[in-house]
């Protein structure tokens, strides 16, 4: 009885590429950071699908939507933009904004309900997962 195996050189090459990809996840973390930042921008633009509480004063405000009046928060989610925080941490990156008032919008205050714009949901988790699958198995770098 004889068994012939083919494709071993290609398999070895792909395994070597996978090992290399596992040793340098930083490009994937940066791409995932962009996915998270873009998600925050979409939430701000859409007022999280209309889920945020809007007072009568805000509804009558002619300057724009409650979280998009000046564009400072929105623009702070551009990678490398003013007030953008993408910080390398052990095992990944931390993303967010350094605008001081952002935490009051995100968490709320005693006088204002939270208007969360930075959080993980199933759709965002799937987008981040796609980035890592592409990095590891799609040859993306």
Residue 59 structure tokens:
């509804």
Note whether residue 16 is domain-resident: no
pLDDT tens for each residue of the chain, 141 residues long: 888 878 888 888 888 888 887 888 888 988 998 898 889 888 887 777 667 766 666 666 665 555 566 788 888 887 766 777 777 777 777 888 888 888 898 888 998 888 888 888 899 999 999 999 999 887 544
CB 91 within 8 A of CB 49: no
User: How many Å from the N-terminal Cα to the C-terminal Cα in the chain?
Assistant: 43
Note whether residue 14 is domain-resident: no
List, in sequence order, the alpha helices (H) in 24-99: 26-50, 56-59, 72-75
Note whether residue 7 is domain-resident: no
Note whether residue 2 is domain-resident: no
0.75 cut: is pTM over it? no
Question: What residues make up the domain containing 45?
Answer: 26-136
Contacts of 33 by beta carbon, 8 Å cutoff, 6+ apart:
79, 86, 93, 95
| Domains in the chain, number | 1
Note whether residue 4 is domain-resident: no
d(CA 139, CA 129): 15
Note whether residue 55 is domain-resident: yes
Residue linked to tokens 């990095």: 135
Among residues 98, 93, 123, 84, the alpha carbon closest in space to that of 31 is found at 93
d(CA 75, CA 84): 8
């Amino acid at each position: 009885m004889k068994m012939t195996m083919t494709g071993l050189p290609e398999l070895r090459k792909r395994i070597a590429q996978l090992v290399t990809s596992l040793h340098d996840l930083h490009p994937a973390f940066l791409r995932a950071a962009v996915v998270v930042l873009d998600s925050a921008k979409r939430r701000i633009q859409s007022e999280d699908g209309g889920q945020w509480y809007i007072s009568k004063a805000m509804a009558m405000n002619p300057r724009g939507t409650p979280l998009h009046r000046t564009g400072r928060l929105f623009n702070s989610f551009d990678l490398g933009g003013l007030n953008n925080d993408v910080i390398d941490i052990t095992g990944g990156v931390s993303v967010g904004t350094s605008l001081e008032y952002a935490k009051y919008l995100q968490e709320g205050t005693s006088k204002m309900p939270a208007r969360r714009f930075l959080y993980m949901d199933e759709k965002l988790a799937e987008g981040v997962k796609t980035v890592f699958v592409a990095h590891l198995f799609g040859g993306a770098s």
